[in-house]
Amino acid sequence: MLNRRHFLATATLAGLSAPAILRAEAGFFRDFPFSLGVAAGDPASDGFVIWTRLAPDPMAPHGGMPLVNIPVEWEVSPDSGFREIVAKGTELARPELGHSVHVEVAGLLPARPYYYRFTAGGERSLRGRARTLPVVGAEVDALKFGVCGCQHYESGFYGAYRHLAREDLAFVYHYGDFIYEYQQDYLFPDGLPVRPVRKYALRGLQDLGDFRTAYTQTLLDIDMQAARSVHAFVSSFDDHEIRNDWVSVYDDWKLDLDGNDPDAPPPEVFMLRKQAAMQAWYEHMPVRKALLPRGGMINAHRELRYGNLVSMQVLDTRQYRDNQPCGDGFKPACPEVYSKDAQVLGKAQEDWLAKNLGKGGATWNAIAQQVTMMALDRRRREDEPKKILNLDSWPGYEAPRERILSRFAGLKNCVVLTGDEHQNFCGDLVLKDKVVGAEFVGTSISSGGDGSDLRKGTDVFLKLNPELKFANDQRGYVVCDVNREAWQTHFMVVDKVTTPTNTLSKRATGVVENGVAGIRMA
C-alpha cells in the first residue's frame, strides 16, 4: 500500500523540501491509479473540462491514496497518437476532493474532436476523446447528441452505455440519478420478488465516504467508462444522488409531521447530508469549477449554445423547488397544486431562463431538465374515478408550469428534454388548448429492470392523454438528430439489462418540424 510515510521518505531522498506537494514516482501505486476512467464535459467552442480521479485501490478508504496533494500531468492533442500536443499542464489532485482532477481546457479550435490523457506517478491513463462546439452564432446545419440517465446499479447492467459509446455524437446530456442512495434486497419488476443482478456495497448513504463509495462502484463499470471516454457529458443531478424526491433544503421533512416518513431528517441535518452528496457528485462529474459546491449548493443551471442552430438551457428542478403538494406521490390534485406562490426553479433561476429563452436567434430552443412538464393523467385503469397527477413533477406546481409554457408560447421551436420516469414517452406541451412546444421523456439506462414494450394499462394511459404520442417501457437512451428543417428524437432501446450484453434497436422516432409546435411520429 502506498502510504504517507512512504511518500515523505521518497520525497526526502529526491531532495524535495516541501511535503505539501509530492512527486509520485513510477511504481509507487500498488495498482493502476486511473481505475475510474477519464471523462470530459461542459464543452465550449474553445475547449471542455477533462476529468479523472486517482484511485489505485478504488473501494478502499480514499481510493487507496495518501492524504497529500499529488501532481497530475495532462495533455490534449488533435490526433489519437498524440504526435502534436496543443495543450498541456499539471493539476493537483487534492485529498479534500477525493484526488479528483478537473481541468478546464481552453484555446482549442471550434467544432472538432480532440484527444486527452493524464499521467501520475509514472502511470498513464487511457485515452479520452471530446469535441469542441461550433462558435456561438456560427452557421451550423446539423447537430446530433445523446440523452441518458437513471442508472440503478442493482437493477441492471450498463450495456446501453456500450452502444451509446459507439454513436457519433457531439455530446451527451445526462439528466441525473447517476447513483441511487439505497440498496435493495429484492426487486419487484412484475410484482414478484427477484434478486438484484448486482449489489451496492452499502445499504444506505449518509456521509461523504458513503457517497464516494457509491460513485466509485458505479464508475468501475467498464461500459459506463467507455461512454464517458468518447463523449463530452453535460451533467445534471436529480433526486437519487441524495434522497428520493428531495426538494429545496427541506427534503421530505414535512411528511414526518403526518407520520408518513418517520425516517426523514430535520432540515439542518438534511443539509449536512446534502452537502456531502453534492461534494461527491462534483468530485466524480466532468464539470467546471464554477459548480464546486458552496454551503451544500451547486449553481447547476447553465447554457450551451451550438452555433446558431440550438440554444440549450440546462435546468435544476430540485434545489429551489417548494415541497411537493398534497403529500407527494401519484394522486388527484389538491388546492396546493394551484398555489400562485409555488416555485419549481426558484425566482432567480426562472428569471435567468426567461432572459435566455430565445436569445441569440437560434433555430431551436432546447430545455434540458429532470421532471415531466406535460400535465399527464396517470391513470392506467378505466375504473379509477379522478385524474391522477405525478406530484413530483411540473403538474404538481401549476402556476410556475403555466409561466414557463407562456414563455414558450411567444417563441418557436421549443423542445423539452426530460428523464426521471424510467420509460419513454413524448407529447405536446399544451397551454389553454394551444400547443406551445414538445417534450421528449427518455427512459433509464437500467432503473426498472428489463421492462417490456408496453406497461400494463398503456392503452388507457394513451386514451386519457391525447397530447401523448408514444409510450414505451424498455431501457436505453435517446439520440436527438437536429437540422434546420426538423428535430428528430430516436428512442434507442435494449432488449434486456439483466445480462451484461444486449441488443440495441430503434423503437420509435418523434419529429418536430421547424415552425410547427408539437410532435408527430415518423
Across 8-17, 180-189, 251-260, 340-349, least confident range? 8-17
Q: Cα–Cα–Cα angle for 23, 29, 35, nearest 5°? A: 115
Identify the bridge partners of residue 258 per DSSP, sorted by sequence position: none
392 within domain boundaries: yes
378: domain CATH number is 3.60.21.70
Helices (H) and strands (E) in the chain, counts: 9, 24
Pair 102, 182 in one domain:
no
**pLDDT confidence of 5, banded at 50, 70, 90?**
very low
Q: Does pLDDT of 19 surpass 70?
A: no
The string over 121-145, giving b where at least 16 C-beta atoms fall within 10 Å of a residue's C-beta and e elsewhere, is: bebebebbebbbbbbbeeebeebbb
Cell of 316: 435544476
Q: Does pLDDT of 370 surpass 70?
A: yes
Asked if residue 470 lies in contact with residue 508, where contact means CB atoms within 8 angstroms, the answer is: yes
Q: Does pLDDT of 351 surpass 50?
A: yes
Residue whose cell numbers read 461500459: 223
Specify the pairing of strand 232-235 against strand 302-306: unpaired
Residue 226's SS3 state is helix
93 within domain boundaries: yes
Whole-number Cα distances in Å, 339 to 235, 276, 351, 376, 409: 31, 32, 19, 19, 22
Pair 150, 127 in one domain:
no
Q: Does pLDDT of 366 surpass 60?
A: yes
Pair 299, 331 in one domain:
yes
Q: Which of 79, 110, 131 is the last residue of a domain?
A: 131
The count of other CB atoms within 10 Å of the CB of residue 167 is 18
Q: Does pLDDT of 96 surpass 90?
A: yes
Pair 120, 154 in one domain:
no
Identify the bridge partners of residue 511 per DSSP, sorted by sequence position: 488, 520
Average pLDDT over residues 198-211: 95
Pair 161, 294 in one domain:
yes
Residues 105-128: tens digit of each pLDDT: 999 999 999 999 999 999 999 999
136 within domain boundaries: no
Cell of 9: 521518505
pLDDT at 364: 98
197 within domain boundaries: yes
Average pLDDT over residues 152-175: 98
Pair 353, 457 in one domain:
yes
Residue-by-residue DSSP string for 488-512: EEEEEEES-SSSS---EEEEEEEEE
356 within domain boundaries: yes
73: domain CATH number is 2.60.40.380
137 within domain boundaries: no
d(CA 75, CA 209): 30
pLDDT at 4: 42
Q: Which of 74, 101, 131 is the last residue of a domain?
A: 131
The count of other CB atoms within 10 Å of the CB of residue 38 is 24
**pLDDT confidence of 254, banded at 50, 70, 90?**
very low
446 within domain boundaries: yes
Pair 127, 146 in one domain:
no
Pair 71, 220 in one domain:
no
**pLDDT confidence of 191, banded at 50, 70, 90?**
confident
Torsion of CA 234, 239, 242, 247, to 10 degrees: 110
d(CA 443, CA 447): 9
Pair 386, 261 in one domain:
yes
Residue 292's SS3 state is coil
Domain interval for residue 163? 142-521
Pair 418, 462 in one domain:
yes
Domain count, the chain: 2
Asked if residue 324 lies in contact with residue 339, where contact means CB atoms within 8 angstroms, the answer is: no
Pair 281, 420 in one domain:
yes
Residues 77-92: tens digit of each pLDDT: 999 999 999 999 999 9
Pair 154, 122 in one domain:
no
Q: Which of 92, 107, 131 is the last residue of a domain?
A: 131
